[in-house]
Amino acid sequence: MAIESIKMPQLGESVTEGTIEKWLVKPGDHVEKYDSLAEVNTDKVTAEVPSSFTGTIKEILVQEGQTVAVGEIVCTMETEGGSSESAQPEAAPAQKEPANEMPAEGSQKPNSPVKKEKGAAAGRYSPAVLRLSQDHDINLADVDGSGRDGRITRKDIQAIIDSGEKPQPKSVTTEVPAQTEVQPSAPASAPSAPSQGATNVPVVPGDIEIPVTGVRRAIANNMLKSKHEAPHAWTMIEVDVTEMVKYRDSLKKEFKQKEGFNLTYFAFFVKAVSQALKEFPMMNSMWAGDKIVQKKDINISIAVATDEALYVPVIQQADEKTIKGIGREITELAGKVRSGKLKSSEMQGGTFTVNNTGSFGSVQSMGIINHPQAAILQVESIVKRPVVMDNGMIGVRDMVNLCLSLDHRVLDGLVAGHFLARVKEILENVSSETTSVY
């Protein structure tokens, strides 16, 4: 017998620590290599720690809720004959319920009736399960797991592969966080003790307590860090996108038939921003304490929402892609979130965020900067408004507000103003004569 150590894995390029949200095993449990041991939460992703060995859990060294540094030992295992393998496999991103790119038409509302399928009971999958299912195009939502609490194991996926028959699709269901209504008999003056950093909120009969998920806590921590560290400044510019709207609308039907996905307005905005970032590279910078890092690659973070969380996948080197290419990546990244196949690596490396708040009907908003980036641009709703034109006449035009939040340690109003003016110029000159989506 040999004693092996399981360490906190590196869950992202800038992640230095993780919090054990929940142990999935206990001392004495036998586990196979790649089986999930614990759910871990960082400021970037919720993931699982997989086992590097086959053996028996000997001792758990880190308690639930405890935060430890990357590389620190979290538990030990007894293995037969030992193992020379020391590298930790990359933790898999948390498998989420179907999500929708903002906005989500007909999406499940937080308080809607829900049904929990057996195969979705685990909600999270090991790296081996994810890898096998993706390689063989198996939808994990259609698989019934044989593991503890209905978890899907590698053996379940291998059995499907060996049979040559994919599981039949199940009806789409959404699981939402459990909500607990306070019973009238509970003393209103004696709420449960708050956790560390929590606010002591009075609870009275009829109030509903909703547990904070690991993903929601990660979002809260990252937003708090951004607001505390970065002095936010805000500015807005008005853009006439009448010609862009006409051009896109004239292409959308033929484009969908030819390419198989929708040509959205958002792809035009992301392309314009990536082009302007190339011309104003200071906007593509980050604060690093004693220096400012101006990033070489222009990697655009976009927002994809679920009922319980907001994911920010990244379009790598967006300035080198066409409008069609950007549109395809937006569709593919949103699809990966919906199917639970988005990898943690696909949320890394963003240098500037473009947020499609207009899809909610918003016309003006102030975004919180996606730390450690230096700025975030909110693309608001395109609305028809009466506008006084250059010839003095009043006309109805398609107008959009672009709202920029910036880190005033890195950026000043001058460069931000020039950047927004350039984005405006690019968008107002989009037309069938001047612009190609290919």
CATH assignment at residue 287: 3.30.559.10
282, two tokens = 């200071």
351, two tokens = 């240098």
Rounded CA gap, 361 and 105, in Å?
13
User: What would the pLDDT profile of 303-322 be if each residue is shown by its tens digit?
Assistant: 887 766 778 999 999 999 99
Contact (CB, 8 A) for 407 and 231: yes
User: What would the pLDDT profile of 248-302 be if each residue is shown by its tens digit?
Assistant: 999 999 999 999 999 999 999 999 999 999 999 999 999 998 899 999 999 999 9
pLDDT at 110: 40
pLDDT at 52: 85
In a domain? residue 222: no
30, two tokens = 């036998």
Strands 17-23 and 36-41: antiparallel
In a domain? residue 9: yes
Same structural domain, 17 and 145: no
Rounded CA gap, 353 and 369, in Å?
8
Strands 36-41 and 180-181: unpaired
312, two tokens = 């920010």
Which pLDDT band holds residue 100 (cuts at 50, 70, 90)?
A: very low
Strands 300-302 and 352-355: parallel
Same structural domain, 410 and 277: yes
Rounded CA gap, 285 and 52, in Å?
38
Same structural domain, 14 and 146: no
pLDDT at 99: 38
* 418 classed as catalytic: no
Output the 3-class SS for 18-32.
EEEEEECCCCCCEEC
Rounded CA gap, 364 and 143, in Å?
43
User: What would the pLDDT profile of 328-370 be if each residue is shown by its tens digit?
Assistant: 999 999 888 878 788 888 989 999 999 999 988 999 999 999 9
State the pTM of this model.
Answer: 0.60
Give the torsion sign (CA, 253, 257, 258, 262).
positive
In a domain? residue 211: no
Please state whether 416 falls in left (phi above 0), alpha (psi between -120 and 50) or beta: alpha
In a domain? residue 438: no
Most confident residue range from 149-158, 204-213, 265-274: 265-274
In a domain? residue 226: no
Residues above pLDDT 70, as percent of the chain: 78
DSSP state of 246: H
Whether pLDDT at 115 is above 80: no
Number of domains in the chain: 3
Rounded CA gap, 437 and 250, in Å?
12
* pLDDT, mean of residues 139-148: 76
Same structural domain, 271 and 130: no
Same structural domain, 71 and 132: no
Whether pLDDT at 182 is above 60: no
pLDDT at 296: 96
Whether pLDDT at 116 is above 70: no
Strand order in the sheet with 46-50: 46-50, 36-41, 17-23, 67-69
Residue 154 structural domain: 118-163
E strand or H helix that includes residue 159: helix 154-163
Q: How many other β-carbons are positioned within 10 Å of the β-carbon of residue 261?
A: 15
Greater pLDDT, 223 or 408: 408
CATH assignment at residue 138: 4.10.320.10
* 232 classed as catalytic: no
Domain end: 105, 134, 163, which one?
163
Lowest mean pLDDT among 196-205, 220-229, 362-371, 386-395: 196-205
75, two tokens = 């538990």
In a domain? residue 98: no
CATH assignment at residue 37: 2.40.50.100
Strands 352-355 and 375-379: parallel
In a domain? residue 190: no
Residue in 135, 249, 297, 412 annotated catalytic: 412
Lowest mean pLDDT among 80-89, 149-158, 249-258: 80-89
In a domain? residue 224: no
Same structural domain, 380 and 323: yes
Mean pLDDT of the chain: 81
Rounded CA gap, 414 and 409, in Å?
13
User: Helices marked H in 230-320 — which ranges?
Assistant: 242-259, 265-279
Same structural domain, 297 and 392: yes
Which pLDDT band holds residue 415 (cuts at 50, 70, 90)?
A: very high
pLDDT at 14: 63
CA distance between the termini of the chain: 61
Same structural domain, 275 and 400: yes
Contact (CB, 8 A) for 77 and 1: no
Domain end: 28, 54, 79, which one?
79
For residues 278-293, one letter each, b for 16 or more C-beta atoms within 10 angstroms of the residue's C-beta and e for the rest, the string is eebebbbbbbeeeeee
Most confident residue range from 68-82, 203-217, 232-246: 232-246
Return the amino acid letter for 362. Answer: S
Same structural domain, 314 and 380: yes
User: What would the pLDDT profile of 2-56 be if each residue is shown by its tens digit?
Assistant: 889 998 887 766 677 888 888 999 999 998 888 889 888 776 566 778 888 899 9
Domain end: 59, 79, 99, which one?
79
Beta strands per DSSP E along 143-302:
180-181, 208-209, 232-240, 285-287, 292-294, 300-302
Residue in 319, 398, 408, 418 annotated catalytic: 408
Q: How many helices (H) and strands (E) would you count in the chain?
A: 7, 21
